[in-house]
Amino acid sequence: MAEFTLELNDDQKQVRDWLHGFAADVIRPAASEWDEREETPWPVIQEAAKVGIYSLDFYAQQFFDPTGLGIPMAMEELFWGDAGIALSIVGTGLAAVGVLANGTEEQIGTWIPQMYGDAEDVKVAAFCSSEPDAGSDVASMRTRAVYDEAKDEWVLNGTKTWATNGGIANVHVVVAVVDPELGSKGHASFIVPPDTPGLSQGQKFKKHGIRASHTAEVVLEDVRVPGHCLLGGKGKLDERLARARERARAGGGERVKNAAMATFEASRPAVGAMAVGTARAAYEVALDYAKTRTQFGRPIIDNQGVAFQLADMRTQIDAARLLVWRASWMATTGKPFTSAEGSMSKLYASETAKKVTAQAIQILGGNGFTREYPVERMHRDAAIYTIFEGTSEIQRLVIARTLSGMPIR
């Protein structure tokens, strides 16, 4: 078991510097253009694939870093470059985590490579969980999956929303209800292979921030997928459903995780790291500006009102990073989140990103309110961190119920 440390080793530092260079040289120069275009930055994704950043091998190496710091370190550097483009580069990872968390070894080996493609023909993947009437309340999910035993196929019907890469993905991972009576415990995840009939893109959303990342509805109309596309396999699903029914008859007992929650639990510290990257980027712009902008004959950083804001910004960013690193280390080393440490890291880092980017605009004054400076975009981007993969209110609910011993439904 890797001991907790606040010092990156030499290999990690090398990867960090490499990612930082890519973020500075490739992502940042393209950020404003793709934010304005509100389109998937395929050329940037392809550049990431060419150098090995957008690949299964890279994310596997970071995912299996024994310290747990590989993924948060990578997320922070890429999102320091730009949140919208970075999300286009890493968005496939949520679908990959869904397969890793719930799939068999054969499914992992078969489908994850197809999510990425290669440097000459890059692909993306989508994780589809939220619905128009079921966001935080996953128990209200309506998308159904019915097993056709005669053909060994699952038939999916429903509408998913807020899906990153939804409709343009090569592979979609869809969470659906297989037993409505069990609520959130009656869910399962399915692979929808490329070009499967019945899957289509619905509305593409025009967003406040992260506009270089494609977000859309996914419509499923009698989508038939082979039995082997059920993540984990039918035998494992039947056993899990049987246990859930038995506990329901017994009046509760030990909780059973559903497929969507397993994915979100694994990814929340990574989202916190994304928020840290955006916050750090805005802080650095504000710091440089405060050092060079003069008013009344001196740099504005000499004004305590500005200097104290920067001090608070840096303190909050470092505290957020520490919470993310702790949760990531705990997850990797198998330590349980007895106090909802994963949710803590996502909550604090997300709120920090919103606060720090707003303070950066204030420090830049009128310039910060224009698109000539990046903090305006960073502030718009930061708003998403307190919303997706569990709102801040849901994180607080998870933390409170964990501390009190109440069940998390």
User: Which residues are known catalytic residues?
Assistant: 389
Query: Pairing relation of β-strands 171-177 and 199-204?
Result: unpaired
- Reduce the DSSP state of residue 202 to 3 states and report it: strand
Candidates 94, 135, 49, 81; CA nearest to 278 is 81
Instruction: Give me the torsion for CA of 225, 56, 159, 343, rounded to 10°.
Output: 130
Are the C-beta atoms of residues 223 and 157 closer than 8 Å to each other? yes
Token pair 């960073």: residue: 378
Distances (CA, A) of 324 to 91, 118, 129, 329: 19, 31, 24, 9
Sequence-separated (6 or more) residues with CB below 8 Å from residue 133: 140, 142
Strand positions, DSSP E, 91-231: 117-118, 121-122, 125-128, 144-148, 153-164, 171-177, 187-192, 199-204, 215-226
Are the C-beta atoms of residues 267 and 239 closer than 8 Å to each other? no
- Reduce the DSSP state of residue 192 to 3 states and report it: strand
- Determine phi and psi for 350, rounding to 5 degrees: -65, -45
Strand positions, DSSP E, 3-152: 117-118, 121-122, 125-128, 144-148
> What DSSP letter does each residue of 311-368 carry, written as one string?
HHHHHHHHHHHHHHHHHHHHHHTT---TT-HHHHHHHHHHHHHHHHHHHHHHHHGGGG
Buried b (16+ CB within 10 A) or exposed e, 195-205: ebeebebbeeb
